Structure formats: structure tokens, C-alpha cells
Amino acid sequence: MNAISVKNLNKVFTYYEKKEGFQHSLKNLLVRKQKTKEAVKDISFDIDSGDIVGFLGPNGAGKTTTLKMLSGILYPTSGEVQVLGYCPWKRQKQFKMKYSMVLGQKSQLWPDLPATETFRLNQYIYEVDEKKCKMLVDELTEYLDVKHLLHVQVRRLSLGERMKLELIASLIHSPQLIFLDEPSIGLDLVSQQKIRSFIRYWNEQYKTTVMITSHYMKDIEDLCERVIVINSGKKLYDGSLCDVNYMFKNIKIVNLELSDEIDDMKLAEFGTITKKEGLNCTMEVHKEDLHEFIGYVTEKLNIKDINISDIPVEKGIELLYR
Amino acid sequence: MKKYFCSFRMGMKSEYEYRLNFIFVLFSAFFPMIIQTFLWIAIFENSKKPIVYGYTLNQMILYTILSQMIAKFLKTGVETEISTDVKTGGLSKYIIKPFNYLLYKLFGFVGKKAIHMEIILAFILIVLVVFNWKVQITMSIGRGVVFLVAVFLALILNFYIFCCLSMLSFWVTDAWGIFFGARFLIDMMSGAIFPIDIFGETIIKVFQALPFQYMVYFTVNIITGKISLHMALQGIGIQVIWILVLGLLTRYLWKRGLLQYVAVGG
């Protein structure tokens, strides 16, 4: 069954441009040129229930805008979306009861009160049974090691501590679907690791569908088998993470260890040099030129070692971002 | 319904953390009170009449003090909260939840005020006892109860007035200037600065058709005994009608506004 299905989704924002300087501010008072930005262009995809899907893209690619439309915060300009069988922007109560969203940069906890108060509020909002809620909170605080923070005023917590509690607050109603927008932003390595293993555990335990955006490659590698990559509003890639480099199957990475110095220009004839340190040289070579290149290297150059490999996943994603 | 009571309790608790703040707010009302008291003394001395605009000097001073305190009690700040939520995109986290944001805000606000209530009632009682030997105050338990009901309704009325106003922020990105002007106007029209009686008949008629005077002027008059119990009950009816009208208007604007909402940031 599809948890999410998106068809030809579009979102256009209108805004006013303001150039630097007071003069332009004054000008803006009189005439403002309206500009439009297509934040999301014709995106389609389906997500099976129970999957963890990574949603990647450089800053400003339209990730959060898409998530906002999927969660019903924004109305799309055009397109069809079904999330858990509902149309999200109709904002039906039954729909809202079934999903949850963690915005890494927007806190839902009351800053002046300890986190338990927000948990209680959510318990009532989502009409969760008192006992069930207590058990869940116990389990989650144990797992994330935040039991001692439950009774501290939220504004006194560190970012990482708050983030963990934030995650708990959004899981109180055991949602079928979770949108995580940069859940690991600003966290230390141990906390990132903890949140990752927690998301994995939660997904396995409750078969929850998870859609996650993150700029930490490790998050994505650990959690997602499938990724969707978008850039400037368009979908570029949709498939398994390890196949990202398949799109760049025509490019090979060649690692050379030379025994003599050699002119860069000669090597550059066959491909682009990405790194050169003394006698160590890394190059990107097109598949078609590979045969010729190897011939050249083995015959004309004195090499100690040669290593030919595919583009690594991380590099593949980086290339997509460009 | 439970969720809104929870919001009420949380409003109460978070305000309790900063309860001293409200006492300072009340003290800050002290200075305009003194300025106005001297102003009225000067006006009464120059007019050479014992009664000006239907008030004796002592009655006028009593009105000034009570109106300032009640106005401070009713003060919401909900308009800045909502417009900040809209401007910074903080509203997003609320609209994905299965509850009514406006009711949630209302209950949180009333919860906050429940803490202020005790402080303000203590102050009012002290003021009344002190003035009792100067001004004839017709006090009865019935009047006290009517006063409490009227203050409570005034609180909700004030909430909806500012809530309605804050819906502007969906269309105007920064409505701070509008709020600032509106706050002053509403203060004046509600009788928080002077009793409405000084404005002259035509303007009084206009004010009567508006909800504002039912917040401060009306409630103060109940407790000082300037209006009859019968009229007080009538006024409470008008308060309820205004709350319904503004509540519905706010709801309508809220629905229209959400179509405009762009959920910036994050």
C-alpha cells in the first residue's frame, strides 16, 4: 500500500525583490516588482508504507516546501497528493491524528515549562490513553537517555537535548507516518548516532513510514535504502541509495601512484585531475577514454600502483547537486 | 475539550513562573494614575463646580485608578504572539495538530489571567476599602458577582478583539504599527484613559455601538455603582453578543488567512 503518492506537484511563490541600500527601500515603497519562484516543479513519487525514504537536495532545493505540502501546511499551486489516503491540505482531523512532523528548526515544546507539560498537552490533543502514554514516554526517554531532563524548563536545555525531547513529543500518538525535517541539525556525533538508531528502531518496531531530510550523509546512509534527490524544484533521482552512482556509470575514478614526476597537462588530456599530492594522483576518466588511458599509463609511465573504481555514493550525490 | 483545559493549565503554570512580572506591570500603571489624578484635581479646581461630567473629584480619582488596573488586567499581547507565529512560520507546528489554534490560544490566555486575577482582585479590594470613607459605594454580594462575570466576559471580548486584529498579519507582513495605533485607540474607546462621559453626546452614541466600552468603562461602573444592576445585566448580554460576533468574524478571517499563509523558514 502507498503511504504517500504525489503526482505532478507544483508550487509557485510570489515575492518582492529588494536590493541593498536605502535608495532601493524607498523605491520599493512606490513600485514593487513582483517576482515568482517555482519552488517545486512537477514532482511525482510514491512511497510504500513502512519505508524510510531520504529526501535530499542542496539548500533551497524545495525539500521543506514539498514536506509542507505533504503535511498540509501549504496549499500547492497544482498537482495531486494522497497521504495515508487523505488530501493533506483539507486538514481533516482523522488525517492529523495519524502523522507527525518534526521541524528541526521550530520547537513545539513550551519554552517556559518542562517537557512533560508539552507531552501531556499532546496526549490530550491526540486523545491518547493516559497509561499508554506513560509507558511510551518511559520507553522513549529510556532509549534516548533523557529521563533526567524531563523536569527541566525547556529553554534551559541544550539544542541536542531539546531535539531528543522534541522527537518524543511528536511520537506520543504513535503516528503511522513521520516527516523529519533535519532532525540531526546541530547535534554532536553521539547524539546523531543515537537519534539515527532510534529512528531505525522505531521504524522496525511500529512499521512507521518515515520521510527524512538531512544534510548529513551518514544519516541517509544508515537509515535509507531509497533516496529521492531534488534540485531547484525538480526531481533528479529516485531509487536505491547505492545506485546513485549508476547515473554516473560512465565516469571512473582512477588512482595512480607514480614513481616519477609527470606534467599535469599530459594526464589532463584523458580526464580531469581532482587531486594531486606529490606522486599521488586522483583522476576522473570517462569510460570511453579508459582503455586508451590505461594503455598510456602502463606503457609510458612508471607506476607503482593503479586503482580504478566507481564513483562513491557521496560523490554521486554531490554531482547531482551541481 | 480536555486538550483546551490542558492549555489553560499550562498557561497558568508558565505565567506562575513569572508572577512577579505582573506585579511590576501593575506598579507601572501607578505613574499614569498619579499624573491623571493631578490633572483632574487641576480641572476640578478651575471649573469651580463640585461635579464635572457627572463625577465628583473623588469619584473621578477612583475611576482613574480602577480603570487603569482593569485595563492592565485585560491586556492581551495575543496579537503579537499570533503575528509572530505567522511572520516567522511558527504557526506551522500548530496547524498540523488536530485542534483549534484559536481556542487553544484563548484557553492559554485565560489560564495566564487566572494567575493575575487574584492579584488584581486583592488590589481592587484595597482600593475600595480605602475609598469607602470618601465615596459612597453601593456594594452588595450580587453586584460583586455581576462584576466578576463582567470582567471575565470583558477578558474574552478583549481576546477576540485583538485576535481579530491579528488576523491582519496574514496580509500585512509586519502589522506592528497598526497594532500600536489600534491599542491606543481601543484603550481610549474602552474608557481606560478617561471615562467615556467626557466625550460629548454624539461620540458617546458612536461608542455605544462599538464593543470597546464594554471592557473597561462598563466593568468599572458596575463596581462603583454608577449603573443599576438591571443595566449591568443588559450590558452583560451585549458583551456576549459582541463575543459571538467577533468570534465568528475571527474564525472567518482565520480560514481566509490560512490560504495566504506561506510558512516561511525551516
All cell numbers assigned to B67: 480603570
CB A123 within 8 A of CB A172: yes
CB A154 within 8 A of CB A110: yes
CB A41 within 8 A of CB A49: no
Chain A nearest-CA distance from B230, in A, is 41
CB A273 within 8 A of CB A264: yes
Q: Which of the residues B84, B93, B107 would you substitute to probe the A interface, choosing the one with the greatest number of A C-beta atoms within 10 Å?
A: B93
Chain B nearest-CA distance from A45, in A, is 22
pLDDT cut 90: percent of chain B above it = 32
Q: Which residue of B has its CA nearest to A92?
A: B98
One-letter amino acid at B123 equals F
Contacts of B2 in chain A (CB under 8 A): 124
Edge-to-edge, what's the strand order for the sheet holding A303-310? A271-277, A280-286, A251-258, A303-310
- Cβ–Cβ of B6/A97 closer than 8 Å? no
The answer, yes or no, to whether residue A94 has pLDDT greater than 80, is: yes
Q: In a 3-state reduction of DSSP, which class is residue A45? A: strand
Structure confidence at residue A143 (pLDDT): 87
Contacts of A93 in chain B (CB under 8 A): 98
The answer, yes or no, to whether residue A36 has pLDDT greater than 70, is: yes
Indicate whether B266 belongs to any domain. no
Contacts of B266 in chain A (CB under 8 A): 64, 103-106, 181
Give the residue numbers spanning the domain of B163. Answer: 2-260
Structure confidence at residue B67 (pLDDT): 92
For residue A112, which phi and psi values (nearest 5 degrees)? -85, -5
Chain A, 152 to 171: residues with Cβ < 8 Å from chain B are 153
Interface membership of B259 toward A (CB under 8 Å): yes
Q: What is the pLDDT of chain A when averaged over all its residues? A: 85
Interval A302-322: pLDDT, tens: 788 888 888 777 777 777 777
Report CA dihedral (B190, B122, B54, B188) to the nearest 10 degrees.
Answer: -20
DSSP letters spanning A68-91: HHHTTSS--SEEEEEETTB-GGG-
| pTM for this entry | 0.82
Interface membership of B18 toward A (CB under 8 Å): yes
For residue B183, which phi and psi values (nearest 5 degrees)? -60, -45
One-letter amino acid at B95 equals I
User: How long a stretch of residues is chain B?
Assistant: 266
Indicate whether B86 belongs to any domain. yes
Q: ipTM of this predicted complex?
A: 0.78
One-letter amino acid at A171 equals L
- Cβ–Cβ of B95/A72 closer than 8 Å? yes
Provide the pLDDT confidence category of residue B247 given band limits of 50, 70 and 90.
very high
Average pLDDT score over residue span A27-40: 78
The answer, yes or no, to whether residue B122 has pLDDT greater than 80, is: yes
CATH 3.40.50.300 in chain A: give the residue spans.
Answer: 2-108+170-245
Interval A209-250: pLDDT, tens: 999 998 888 888 888 889 999 988 888 888 888 787 777 778
- Cβ–Cβ of B92/A73 closer than 8 Å? yes
Residue with cell 486584529: B165
Indicate whether B74 belongs to any domain. yes
CATH 3.30.70.1150 in chain A: give the residue spans.
Answer: 250-321
CATH number of the A2-108+170-245 domain: 3.40.50.300
CB B157 within 8 A of CB B215: yes
Average pLDDT score over residue span B107-135: 86
The answer, yes or no, to whether residue B211 has pLDDT greater than 90, is: yes
Residue with cell 468599572: B220
Average pLDDT score over residue span B167-189: 87
CATH number of the A250-321 domain: 3.30.70.1150
Counting Cα atoms < 13 Å in the Cβ hemisphere of A293 gives 24
The answer, yes or no, to whether residue B265 has pLDDT greater than 70, is: no
CB A8 within 8 A of CB A44: yes
User: How many domains does chain B fold into?
Assistant: 1
Structure confidence at residue B138 (pLDDT): 66
The closest CB to that of B92, out of A75, A99, A106, belongs to A106
